[in-house]
Structure 1
Amino acid sequence: MKAIQKIMIFLTAGLALSILVALFSTSNAVGSEDVTLIRFGHGAAESNERHLAVLKFKELVEEKSQGEIKVQVYPNEQLGSEAEMIESVTFNDLQMVAASAFSQYDQRISVFELPYLFDSYEEAWSVLDGEIGQKVAEPLLEDGLRVIAYFENGFRHVTSNVPIESPDDLKGLKIRTPEFPLSVSTFKAFGANPTPMAFGELYMALQQGTVDAQENPIANIYASKFNEIQDYLNLTRHQYMPLPVAISEEFWQTLTPKEQDIINTSAREAAQFHRELLRENEEAMLDELQKAGMKVIDPDSEAFREKTQSVYESYKNKFGEDFVNNILRVVE
């Protein structure tokens, strides 16, 4: 009997020690009582400017909070696709995300992607950072998503194996687009055959001829080395896309006003850092793509713009005419 008691005491002590180790490990993973931890996910590679911008946010937050807020960064879809990461933020399983796929919760956030809405980066930034940027993002609060800044995706361009000098050159072309309704609608208006698919599948799809062309900002084209499988970079500038940065509303409400201010300010500073970094690097990227053998076509955008009027009419019906017209008035 004594032997059994000794064994039970030994097992109980071992279990208690295991629990203590587990608790200690968990505490280290999520932060102590004195440290607030933010887990921040995004879909870009570590070499992408987006990752550098998120690291800038981390640096700013940790500096401004004197280490009382820590940021753990998860790049390259480590925590799932953009859609999956956004969903994790709605449940506060992930605290922050920089992504494009918010239209699954409210399509009005994609209004900034209307074709040829903005003529310059500065015009886009002014609208996004102002009252319109805040109002468009407000409906996402119903799903627990608070947009606190807009990082940069930039103007989008078409790569292909044939030159695109007018909308007629896009007719029937099988082009990969993001899985966003506005992107699909825009290329249908051009007469192309848009084929939505995940970004991670795109290089192989181009390589195997599943699609003939694709469209992305220059930074993504460069980072993904599409010049290896596409001959032409056509500067169509057909859409400007911001990259909303959202924080879990549930998590946000646990923060003090001081912490909220630190995160807000840092997110906006990191957004401007991202924008300026991309602008500085875009010319160099374009030059390197040309040196690698890619031919750059700079078509007149007016014919493309005219083709997209049907998209505006369609989305006025979908988003509300007053909603779209208000944004057009601000842009004008």
Structure 2
Amino acid sequence: MALVFLLMSCGKEKDVTVIKLGHGLSTSHSVHKAIVFMADRLKEKSGGTLLIDIYPNQQLGSEREMLELLQIGSLGMTKVSTAIMENFIPSFKILGLPYLFRDREHRFKVLESEIGEMFLNQSIGRRLKGLTFYDSGTRSFYSQTPIHTPEDLTGLKLRVMESNTAINMVKQLGGSPTPIAWGELYTALQQGIVDGAENNLPSFYLNRHYEVCKYYTMDEHTAIPDELLISTLVWDKLSVEEQQWLKEGAMESSEYQKELWSQAELEALEGMKEAGVEVIIPDKELFREQVQPMYEEFSEDPEVKKIIDAIQTVK
């Protein structure tokens, strides 16, 4: 069960709540370390009565599978990319729009504002409550051939997430989007099933994709955050005080993860260069111009346009 009540004897009996949390990242990833930090803080805040049991490395399934487990209450919490969330809540596609955020500072101001809180709560009707966002940096293209302009993407088979927005973005830029599970990507690159992919610096480096792709183009097309979620079937069983502890612990872990992420990006960039990867700094405006039709398409929905406008006006 996602929520377990145990009796522990420590002078006297007390109820202990254990929440089962699964995610797809390695234990060396900054988000895993932040989740461990949250679990420690939660144990401290609750005096050992509210605990989190963590299962990393896709032990409990893919991101989409774990979300479905949350919906039926078989899993308590998970971390997913918000790109996956658009399969459950269509408005999440907004966060996958290329060049939505002006820079890192703007991104955090948006995610930590009422707009971010709105996204965290939008999935409650699907039994999924967001607790906080984690930094996942910016995503860029990498390939076995150099990419300097959008024209260099023409005809390239590029791995994308299971996200219609990501698929449409690559099409808009002239590439051939190919959804492949993250765990299968290294082999797909080796075997030539795809020519390249797009992701952030630490993911590229920690998963050793530099062994098959020697070109990384810092076009920074998207900045899709990760989201920490809890099943509402579990959340609703917690007391108000326990809910407050969990929310506080999640927010504190988010701040902690920001620092870890910045360091991970620097280490990844240095490691990539040492491994012989050519880091290309392109003219981002060329990429930005080519994806503008996506904004026109999104703006056809008045509610979506309202959210995009609100994001872009955050100072």
Superposition TM-score tier, normalisation by shorter sequence: over 0.9
1:37 aligns to 2:18 (yes or no):
yes
What residue is the counterpart of 2:10 in the other structure? none
Contact 2:120 2:132 in 1 (8 A): no
Per-residue CA deviation, residues 233-288 of structure 1 (Å, 9 max, x unaligned), is 11110000100111111211111111111100110111121122111221121011
1:286 to 263, 266, 269: 269
In structure 2, runs of 5+ residues without a counterpart are 8-13
Aligned positions of 1:219-258 closer than 5 A: 219-258=202-241
Larger Rg: 1
Say whether the 8 Å CA contact 1:109–1:137 is kept in structure 2: no
Larger relative helix fraction:
1
CA deviation digits over 1:220-241, x for unaligned, max 9?
Answer: 1111000111111111100001
3-state SS in 2 of match to 1:31: strand
Asked if structure 2 preserves the Cα contact closer than 8 Å seen for 1:44 and 1:75, the reply is yes
Asked if residue 322 in structure 1 is aligned to residue 297 in structure 2, the reply is no
Give the distance between the partners of 2:6 and 2:190, measured in 1 at CA.
45
> Secondary structure at 1:327's aligned position in 2?
helix
Distance in structure 1 (CA, Å) of the matches to 2:64 and 2:280: 33
In 2, distance between residues paired with 1:197 and 1:291? Answer: 28
Query: Is 1:67 paired with 2:67?
Result: no
Is the 1:151–1:244 Cα contact (8 Å) retained in structure 2? yes
The alpha carbon displacement at 1:325 in A equals: 2.2
Letter of the 1:323 partner, please give it: I
Tell me the distance in 2 between the aligned counterparts of 1:225 and 1:55.
Answer: 24
Q: Is this contact kept in 2: 1:37–1:70, CA < 8 A?
A: yes
Given candidates 186, 191, 208, the residue that maps to 2:169 is: 186
SS at 2:262 equivalent? helix
CA distance in 2, matches of 1:84, 1:317: 31
C-alpha contact 2:20 2:52 (8 A) present in aligned 1: yes
State the 1:329 CA deviation: 2.4
Return the alpha-carbon distance in structure 2 between the equivalents of residues 268 and 138 of structure 1.
15
The two structures have a TM-score, normalised by structure 2, of 0.93
Identify which of 136, 141, 144 aligns with 2:119.
Answer: 136
Map 1:1-332; keep pairs closer than 5 Å.
31-32=6-7, 34-100=15-81, 101-317=84-300, 320-330=304-314
Task: Give 3-state SS (helix, strand or coil) of 2:18's partner.
Answer: strand
- Give % identity: 34
Q: Distance in 2 between matches of 1:111 and 1:137?
A: 14
What is the CA distance between 1:30 and its match in structure 2?
A: 5.3
Displacement of 1:323 in angstroms is 3.0
DSSP 3-state at the match of 2:21:
strand
Provide TM-score, normalisation by structure 1: 0.88
What is the alpha-carbon distance in structure 2 between the residues aligned to residue 77 and residue 316 of structure 1?
Answer: 36
Query: Which amino acid is 1:258 matched to?
Result: E
**Count, aligned residues:** 305
Q: Letter of the 2:71 partner, please give it.
A: T
Report the Cα offset of residue 85 of structure 1. Answer: 0.4
SS of 2:299's equivalent in the other structure is helix
CA distance in 2, matches of 1:252, 1:299: 45
Runs of 4+ in 1 over 6 A off after TM superposition: none
CA contact (8 A) 1:45 1:51 kept: yes
Which residue does the alignment assign to 1:8? none
Q: Give me the whole-angstrom Cα distance separating, in 2, the residues matched to 1:261 and 1:138.
A: 15
Is this contact kept in 1: 2:16–2:49, CA < 8 A? yes
Contact 2:30 2:264 in 1 (8 A): no
